[in-house]
Amino acid sequence: MKNTVLTLKKQKEEGNKITMLTAYDYSVAKLIDGAGIETILVGDSLGMTMLGYEDTLPVTMEDMIHHTACVSRGAKEAFVIADMPFLSYQTSVYDAVLNAGRLIKEGHAQAVKLEGGASVCEQIKAITDAQIPVCAHLGLTPQSTNAFGGFKVQGKSAERAKQIVEDAFKVQEAGAFMVVLECIPEKLATLITELLDIPTIGIGAGAGCDGQVLVYHDMLGMFTDFKPKFVKHFGNIGEAMTKAFTDYKDEVKSASYPAKEHTFKIDDDIMEELYKEYK
Ligand code: KIV
């Protein structure tokens, strides 16, 4: 059965933790979906994990639509949320509704995610009014990396902690159905989770949230440029891939791959004729 805004809300009410992972393509989405993860985020983190940029800022609407459509084809039960890339919603409410609509119409996502609090509440309200569920994103919002002066934990000072709490109330009031809390102290995330009616999804925000999200490359040990403190490797797939690539190279070079069982047969008479004609 497809997960929906209603099933996710019920999970919060019942204290049943919500699981979320990123995906950017059909095959991985199918594996995540098959594992019973309830929500898939097509994150603009694809700028780093898939496209090799240093941050998420260069990611375009076309990138997001392309990858969201691939993921949607693989997600039979998981609820698919697509990230709105940098400058696809900050510029105007009109742009925000139009671009959110494209992620639904062309990417076949069930919801969109955008970063920010009070400053994007008009956009959240307008997108929600267009019947598109919106997931908000507070704390360390990667599209603000230049304004923050880097990827830094947010909400440690009294002033900033209060601002994040106020933003959480505002995005809920504007209509957000869910909020991602990234890289904020565990106790602050727990308080916000207790205060809000909508589910909170943590990443680097401790166990008190209603659910958790990780970038799948991080949790599988496939992205090794840097490892944030909150990341746990649930597998060493990066190492397994490197070993498989090396084994493949060695077997091709030694001509032990492909073996007989990997080849197709042809009638000997046909080959004899071909040899006679050409050799
Ligand atoms: O882009 C992304 O993958 C995200 C998660 C880290 C929450 O926004």
| Residue 115 Cβ contacting ligand 1 at under 6 Å | no
For residue 225, the domain's CATH number is 3.20.20.60
From the list 13, 166, 173, 182, the catalytic residue is 182
Local confidence band at 225 (pLDDT 50, 70, 90 cut-offs) = confident
Q: Please tell me whether residues 246 and 160 are part of one structural domain.
A: no
Nearest atom in ligand 1 to 56's CA? 1
Are 123 and 89 a contacting pair, CB within 8 Å? yes
Amino acid of residue 229: K
| Residue 203 Cβ contacting ligand 1 at under 6 Å | yes
Q: Round to whole Å and give the CA distance between 100 and 107.
A: 10
Q: How many CA atoms lie within 13 A of 53 on its CB side?
A: 14
Q: Dihedral through CA 112, CA 182, CA 171, CA 50, nearest 10?
A: -20
Alpha carbon distances (Å) from 122 to 32, 99, 118, 136, 173: 33, 15, 8, 12, 11
Q: Please tell me whether residues 204 and 265 are part of one structural domain.
A: no
Q: Please tell me whether residues 135 and 265 are part of one structural domain.
A: no
Q: Please tell me whether residues 78 and 195 are part of one structural domain.
A: yes
Q: Please tell me whether residues 216 and 119 are part of one structural domain.
A: yes
Domains of the chain: total: 2
Q: Please tell me whether residues 141 and 218 are part of one structural domain.
A: yes
Q: Please tell me whether residues 38 and 155 are part of one structural domain.
A: yes
Local confidence band at 224 (pLDDT 50, 70, 90 cut-offs) = confident
pLDDT tens digit string along 73-92? Answer: 999 999 999 999 999 999 99
Domain that holds residue 117: 5-235
Nearest atom in ligand 1 to 41's CA? 3
Active site annotation includes 106: no
Q: Please tell me whether residues 263 and 199 are part of one structural domain.
A: no
Q: Please tell me whether residues 133 and 252 are part of one structural domain.
A: no
Q: Please tell me whether residues 185 and 211 are part of one structural domain.
A: yes
| Residue 215 Cβ contacting ligand 1 at under 6 Å | yes
Nearest CA to ligand 1 atom 2: 43
pLDDT tens digit string along 172-200? Answer: 999 999 999 999 999 999 999 999 999 99
Q: Please tell me whether residues 95 and 174 are part of one structural domain.
A: yes
Q: Please tell me whether residues 55 and 174 are part of one structural domain.
A: yes
Of 42, 49, 31, give the one whose Cα is nearest residue 65: 42
| Residue 83 Cβ contacting ligand 1 at under 6 Å | yes
